[in-house]
Each structure stands twice: as C-alpha cells, then as structure tokens.
Structure 1
Amino acid sequence: MSLTSETSTDLLDDVFRLLLDAGASDLHWSDGGSLHLRVNGFLELAEVPESVSRISFDELTTHLIGRDNFATFVERREYDGARTVLGGSRVRINVFFKRGRIAWAVRLLPSEFFPMESLGLDLDICARICELKQGLVLVTGATGSGKTTTLASLLHHINRHRREHIFTIEDPIEYVHESRECMVSQREVGVDTASFHEALRSVLREDPDIVLLGEMRDRISMDAALTLSETGHLTFATLHTSGAVDTISRIISAFDSMEQGQIRERLATNLKVVITQQLVPWTNREGRSLCAEIMVSTKAIRAMIRDGKERQMLSAIETSSDEGMTTMNKSLADLVKRRLITQKEAGLYSPDRDSLKRHFEVPQLMRSV
C-alpha cells in the first residue's frame, strides 16, 4: 500500500494516540515485533492498530522521520529527533536497528510545562535557582528520570519573569519555548548547527544571558559550561550521574591530572546547585513520584570540592536541610511515610540501603517509653 502524506499522518496519529489514551510515557515498537507502552514506569503489551498493521514498517518509518532523514538513518543506523503530533503533542524519537530490523523508541513530552509547584522539588530551591544571575546548575540522573522536564519548567518560569536572552543547544529540541518576557533562541544540533561543539564555539558571540547546554558528554562540553558560568552566564546542563558526589568526581576525572586542581577551583567557584532525581513508581502502579537529592553550594561544600573531599559531601547534605539540601534516602523515606511505596520498594531505589533503614528506626528514648 502506497501512502500519501495525508494518509501517513492519519496512520501515525493512530499509533501516537495509543500513548495518550494509555497515559503512557514511552512507546516501543519494532518491525515484526510487539508494541509496548511504558505506563507509570512499567512496560505493558499493546495491540497494534489494525489500520497500521498492513503498512510496511520501512514506509511507516520513512513518514515518521522524513525521507531525507530515513536515507541518512539507513547509512548511520541511528536517528534521533523530535516532532509534533496529534495537533500539538510533542514526541522525542529514536530509531535504530536491532537484529537487522528497524525499531522505534518514542517518548511523549508533556504538552504543557509543569509549574514548578508540581515538580515535586523544594519550591524555595527552584525559586532561588530561577533568581540566579550567574553560575552552573546541574540536573542529573538516569535516562527517564525527568531531567528535561525539570529544566523546561525552570526555563519556563524564567521566561515569564525575567527580561533576558535564553539560549539553548539541544539534540534534539524537546520542549519548544516561545519568547515571553525573555527572548528565547533554541538551536537544534543537525538542523541549526552542524554539531554540538560548533554551537559551543559560537555561543558567547550570540549575547546570551541564560544558557541550556543539555547533556555534558565530554571534557569539551564540561569546560564550556564552566567558561560560560565564569563569564557571567546562568548555565544549565545535565549529566547521567547518581548523586552530587558522583557528579563532582565525573567532572574532575574528565580532565588530565595536571588540570584537575584548576578544575576543582573553577567548579568550587561556579557550581551553584546539583539536583539528582529519579521517578519512583507507586506501589499501586497508578502514578510516580519524583525523588531527589539536592546539594547547594555553601562555604563548606566549596571547600570540599577544592580539597578533593567529595566523600564528605553526603554528610554535609544530610545536616544542611536549613540550606535547602536533602538526600535521596530522605526523599524515599517521605514516600514510604506517605504510603505511596513500601520500605522494600524504597530500598530498590536507594543509593545506600543501610542509611535508608535509619530513617525508619524508632529512637531509643521512644522505645523505652
């Protein structure tokens, strides 16, 4: 069956409607394989729409990503992109080969920005971040932990309350920010710039005030983030790390040993906040909650970074709740106390199960009463 542009749009809409109707975050489908949806963190088998089942998967993929992109995909064996579907919903698309067959991984992006109040993060910390004039803010965590959503919410708030130039380098653009009080310039790698590194080289000449770099993948992007922060810009970036300690170590280790002393000094001076987050499914599978570790740059934290004493940071975070800091275990324990997850389930997401147990121990004084 040969597809017209109009027909292909209708068929793709049938597929994407599965995501919306199921309240799913992700869709996974491969040529000749089953279609799965991820709902509240769990994969569920879904039925392929009959209208689509008669269409060649190659042809459907061609219409999903475009004919020119399909030719490039066949050559490179990978494709990353984003598009608007169903009249306004936006999806992030990864197309790849597995065992010689084409496969899709599609993530549905919320059609509206989450208000900061609904993120599940400390609202005071979010407000303080949005008021920063300069410095580096890192949002870290595993794939699918909501990093992009958190950053989009923060930028959306800034866009409505400040009069500055927000500049982003993204691969691909996921959330589209229209200029409000701020002027917003979003550049997509492969569309608006040849490469991430090319965009980094020119960003300072484009008069930004606030810069979103996306993921810091290597030494070059980490150095660029520090340089932007040093030169008076509020800079946002992400890392796939499991906590503040891991984040600091990852950045330092990306540089040669001869440079690491200088990098520690630059990081201590410019790093403002590290938020590490994960989305934890509820016991009843009816939703998920965001759990986070938050580290704020204080005099003590800055000294630990300079002196290479990252291992002491977790203790400092635990005892600095008055500064807005919190540990992942404290966040998990709060979910248990709210009866959204069990203590056993909390242990599956805990970076330190022994430490987590202490949140549920009855103090000796209370046991003796």
Structure 2
Amino acid sequence: MSGDDVIMSPDRPVFMKRRGQVLPITEQPVSGDRVAALLTPLLSSSQAQRLEAKKDVDFSYVEKSSGHRFRLNMFLARGGLSAVFHSVHGVVPALEQLTLPNVVPSWCSAKNGLVLIAGPTASGKSTTLAALLDAMNTYTSRHIISIEDPIEVMHRPKMSLVNQREVGTHTRSFAAALRSALREDPDVLMIGEMRDRETIHLALTAAETGHLVFGTINTISSEQAVERIINAFPRAQQEQARSSLADVLRGILCQTLVRGRDGVSRHLACEVLVATEAVATLIRKGKGVTMAALVGAGADAGMQSLENDLLRLIKAGLVDPEDAMAKVKNRRDIEGARDATATTQKIRIS
C-alpha cells in the first residue's frame, strides 16, 4: 500500500494519509519512547539543535535501501516527538502533463519579473515549481538558483546550470540565501516559500534588478496573494511595496486539487492572473478586491477564474460538483452546473 504521508505520533498507531484519507497501518499504538528511538537517529547534530531550539524541523530524508526520498517534518507535540514523512516522487512531470493553462509556460521565457505560484497546503505548488524549473533547465541556458525547505526533487544540469540550496543544511534561512544569491550572478531564482517580510522584500528587489523570480505563497486566490505580499510590510512601506509589485509582477497561478469522481484521482483546477496594465493599476491603487472581476473578464489575456476551471472539470465529468463547490467562495456558478448535470442524469435514466 502506497501513500502520500506517513504520520508517527507517540502512543498511537502509525497512520498513512492516502489521497486525503488517514488510515492506521499498524494495529497497536507505538510508545513515545519507541517513536523517539526511531526518529532521533535520523537527525544530524545541526538538525537536532534546530529541533531543540524551535521545537520543529524540516529536512529531506533518503531511505537508503530503496533510495526513496521524503520531506520530513519532525516536531514536539503532546506526548513527545512526532513526525510526518511526505513521499517525494523523484520524477519531475513535464509541464504538458500538468495540464496548466497555456499562458503559464510562457512565463518561463520572461527575462525578469516575479511569478507567484499560490494555493493551499498540499495543492501541488512544489510540483508545479519543479516542472517550471525543469522546463527552463531543458530548453534554456541560464544560471538557476533554487532555495528550498527542504530539497524535494534533485535537478541535474541540462542546458542550464542549477544550484539547489536547502534551508538549514546549506543556508540559515530563505532571506540569507536570497541575500547571497544576489551576489552569485543568477538569471533565475526559485524560492520554495515566501513566508516573511525580509524574504518578500528581497524577492521584489531581485525582480527589480533584472532577475526572473518564481516563488510559492500559501493563499487561495490571486487577490489574497497580492494582499499577503503588501501586508507583509509595515503600513508606512506599503505604498512603495504596491508600486514595486505592480512593476515586477508577471503573473499569479493559484491552484487547487479536486478529488476525481473515481475517488482515486485528483484533478488540477487553476485561477490565472496575468499582470496587465489594468492589473498593475489596481495593485498601485490598493484595489485588490476588484481584481476578481478582471480575472473573470481577462480570457483574451490568458486569465481564467477558478470557478470557470472547476466548471470545465464538472462538464467533462471528471469531478463531482459538490467537491468542486467546496473549493470556492462563490458557489452559485458551480451550483448551476450541478443542477444542469443532475437534470441531464435524470433524462438519461428516464
């Protein structure tokens, strides 16, 4: 039985999370002492120090006998040491396999600017980022520096030179790695997560100084992604942050995964914001709340709303309307599609 995550907690069975469902894979609970004995040897001395100081630590782990890679988060919880092993697939999917909107691959050919990959946890952002990096590595000759926490996929140099740095192993933080990267003559910077003001500020600076920057951010819409960037700064600096973001933004891909009708597969649904002049003006004026209307009306520029992409999946019979509705705030368009689907099914039955 294969799954996405293995979860170990003291005095509980070992659980596996597979396609959104959490199931026990051992009959008996594992004691806290036994969990600690299994997990502690996996830590290097520096990782043990980080766990002691911060009470949690992320790092990559390779199971030696199989060569399988995991993203491992170890943390202290009630009862003792716990861990989540997230399975990392070593094969990077081609962009074509991800069924991304056509405008997204074109961002790889930009000379500079900022591209944001947004979405909730476990929505495939890391996979998309890895596929974009692989495409540039395959078809362009550039110096690419990626900063990850931890490294999930190993990228071998093809046409490009790729340097991968892992937070905690090769650098202290995303911000420290970015400051260093600006002195290392990169063409492209990949930032595993834009999670704090200093990292966001340095990413904007890098984009303004002629670099192409890709970064992930945990938000559920393009509008939220813009607000997250701006609100990372003190109020006195937000006007300048809006101006900088408006100047450098190339686009935002906000993605989510929807369970398929078969209960096994998952399908990608996306919102796409392309940084047109109209979008830049809204960002400068702080009118992000009206951005959704531009996205919905921007098909000619390559934009698409999440609702419309979910409708595509529903009409294709790939996902259940109820599962699709759980992914959006505005349920009316999806409810209309559900009613239409139900009517069609009744006609077929009769």
Indicate whether the TM-score tops 0.5: yes
User: Could you state the TM-score of these two structures normalised by the residue count of structure 2?
Assistant: 0.90
Aligned runs of 1:91-240 on 2, under 5 Å? 91-122=70-101, 124-240=102-218
- The change in CA–CA distance for 1:112 and 1:293 in structure 2 (over 3 A counts) is same
User: CA offset at residue 358 of structure 1?
Assistant: 4.9
User: RMSD between aligned alpha carbons?
Assistant: 2.3
Residue 5 of structure 1: aligned partner: none
State the alpha-carbon separation in 2 of the partners of residues 230 and 69 from structure 1: 35
1:78 has 2:92 as partner: no
SS in 2 for 1:205: coil
Q: 2:21 aligns with which of 32, 42, 47?
A: 42
CA contact (8 A) 2:10 2:79 kept: no
User: CA offset at residue 351 of structure 1?
Assistant: 2.6
SS in 1 for 2:15: strand
SS in 1 for 2:235: coil
Q: 1:249 aligns with which of 221, 224, 227?
A: 227
User: Could you state the TM-score of these two structures normalised by the residue count of structure 1?
Assistant: 0.85
Q: 1:286 aligns with which of 247, 252, 264?
A: 264
SS in 2 for 1:83: strand
- The change in CA–CA distance for 1:45 and 1:339 in structure 2 (over 3 A counts) is farther
AA paired with 2:182?
L
Q: Which runs of 5+ in 1 are unaligned?
A: 1-20, 363-369
State the alpha-carbon separation in 1 of the partners of residues 74 and 198 from structure 2: 27
User: CA offset at residue 114 of structure 1?
Assistant: 0.9
State the alpha-carbon separation in 2 of the partners of residues 322 and 106 from structure 1: 42
User: CA offset at residue 196 of structure 1?
Assistant: 2.6
State the alpha-carbon separation in 2 of the partners of residues 87 and 49 from structure 1: 26
Matched residue count: 339
State the alpha-carbon separation in 2 of the partners of residues 208 and 148 from structure 1: 21
AA paired with 2:91?
E
Q: Which runs of 5+ in 2 are unaligned?
A: 341-350
AA paired with 1:114?
P
User: CA offset at residue 207 of structure 1?
Assistant: 0.6
Of the structure 1 ranges 226-235 and 260-269, higher mean CA displacement relative to structure 2 is found in 260-269
Residue 299 of structure 1: aligned partner: 277
State the alpha-carbon separation in 1 of the partners of residues 38 and 45 from structure 2: 11
CA contact (8 A) 2:314 2:337 kept: no
SS in 2 for 1:312: helix
- The change in CA–CA distance for 1:31 and 1:361 in structure 2 (over 3 A counts) is closer
State the alpha-carbon separation in 2 of the partners of residues 29 and 284 from structure 1: 29
- The change in CA–CA distance for 1:36 and 1:72 in structure 2 (over 3 A counts) is same
SS in 1 for 2:186: coil
State the alpha-carbon separation in 1 of the partners of residues 40 and 231 from structure 2: 41
SS in 2 for 1:349: coil
Of the structure 1 ranges 150-159 and 240-249, higher mean CA displacement relative to structure 2 is found in 240-249
AA paired with 1:121?
L
Q: Percent identity?
A: 34
CA contact (8 A) 1:317 1:326 kept: yes
- The change in CA–CA distance for 1:71 and 1:221 in structure 2 (over 3 A counts) is closer
User: CA offset at residue 162 of structure 1?
Assistant: 0.9
AA paired with 2:252?
V
State the alpha-carbon separation in 1 of the partners of residues 46 and 236 from structure 2: 45
User: CA offset at residue 258 of structure 1?
Assistant: 2.6
State the alpha-carbon separation in 1 of the partners of residues 76 and 222 from structure 2: 35
State the alpha-carbon separation in 2 of the partners of residues 328 and 251 from structure 1: 21
CA contact (8 A) 1:116 1:126 kept: no
Q: 1:271 aligns with which of 228, 246, 249?
A: 249
Residue 343 of structure 2: aligned partner: none
- The change in CA–CA distance for 1:222 and 1:75 in structure 2 (over 3 A counts) is closer
> Which whole-Å deviations, capped at 9, do the CAs of 1:55-78 have from their partners, x for residues lacking one?
932221123334663465345421
- The change in CA–CA distance for 1:87 and 1:343 in structure 2 (over 3 A counts) is same
SS in 1 for 2:283: helix
User: CA offset at residue 356 of structure 1?
Assistant: 3.1
User: CA offset at residue 340 of structure 1?
Assistant: 2.4
AA paired with 2:251?
V
CA contact (8 A) 2:15 2:23 kept: yes
Q: Which runs of 4+ in 1 moved over 4 A?
A: 358-362
State the alpha-carbon separation in 2 of the partners of residues 131 and 75 from structure 1: 42
AA paired with 1:104?
A
- The change in CA–CA distance for 1:71 and 1:306 in structure 2 (over 3 A counts) is closer
CA contact (8 A) 1:136 1:273 kept: yes
SS in 1 for 2:234: coil
User: CA offset at residue 247 of structure 1?
Assistant: 1.0
1:32 has 2:14 as partner: no
- The change in CA–CA distance for 1:325 and 1:82 in structure 2 (over 3 A counts) is same
User: CA offset at residue 355 of structure 1?
Assistant: 4.0
